[in-house]
Structure 1
Amino acid sequence: MYDRLDAVPVYALRQGKVKAMHYNHVQLALKRLGEEIRMPIPGLKHLDLILQKNAWIIVDRVLNDVPVVAWTDFATRERSSLHEDIPCQIKHYHANAVMIMNRSLDAMEMLLSEKLPEMLPDELSDVLPFRKKDD
């Protein structure tokens, strides 16, 4: 479990939101695949994305997993529907963190869409047919 967010000084702290689609997809993946998912970000050679229930962290693999940006403190208690964006805190640990945020979330969505069906055990990925009604 990645726990270095408090050990590294924060460059900037902002209130933000994540799209409901991203949040819902990550929560589904975490329920199915475990409490932490780590994936490389395509096009960003030395950056990985670590997904946890309470934080999504982009880390620099070359610099001993120093955080670059993190989405934390997801405000889901007041959430009344699945389509609303989720307020959160966005912690920047690098001056250029803004430049990779959207690209990383888009890559995350692409990777989860492609890899989630492959990573699921066969019994979880099968679709059961509806029973036919007897006439």
Structure 2
Amino acid sequence: MPLNDCRIIELPKITDPRGNLTFVEGDNHVPFDIKRVYYLYDVPGGSDRGSHAHRNLHQFVIAMSGSFDIVLDDGDRQRRFHLNRSYYGLYICPMMWRTLDNFSSGGVCMVLASAAFDPADYIRDHDEFLRLARNPEAATV
């Protein structure tokens, strides 16, 4: 899938003087059914996370608190996204190398995923990712 398929999606925001509310519905606000949720927090300054790709997994990433950047690489091009609002999320399609960096103090990254954890879905070597990105049929598990 090309990098252009990855995009920022604005979520519903219900404004209230007592505090705002945002919600996410699978197959409605995100283009997949949500099967797993996980989050990253207490990321030390200067550290990065990710540095891998998924063969089949779709993800939707939200900055729940603070901010961070996500660099996506489809094997041909790279694009950096800055996430800093809890009512915006980044849809990441399969076969995108991703690196998360530039975490602010107190940054919390929540990820909604299309499948349960599967170690076989991960591509952790960038050279292998580049080879598979050029031959998509070889990437499927």
TM-score normalised to structure 1 length? 0.31
Give the helix-richer structure, 1 or 2: 1
Q: Which has the higher contact order (CA 8 A, sep 6+)?
A: 2
Larger Rg: 1
TM-score between both structures, scaled by the size of structure 2: 0.30
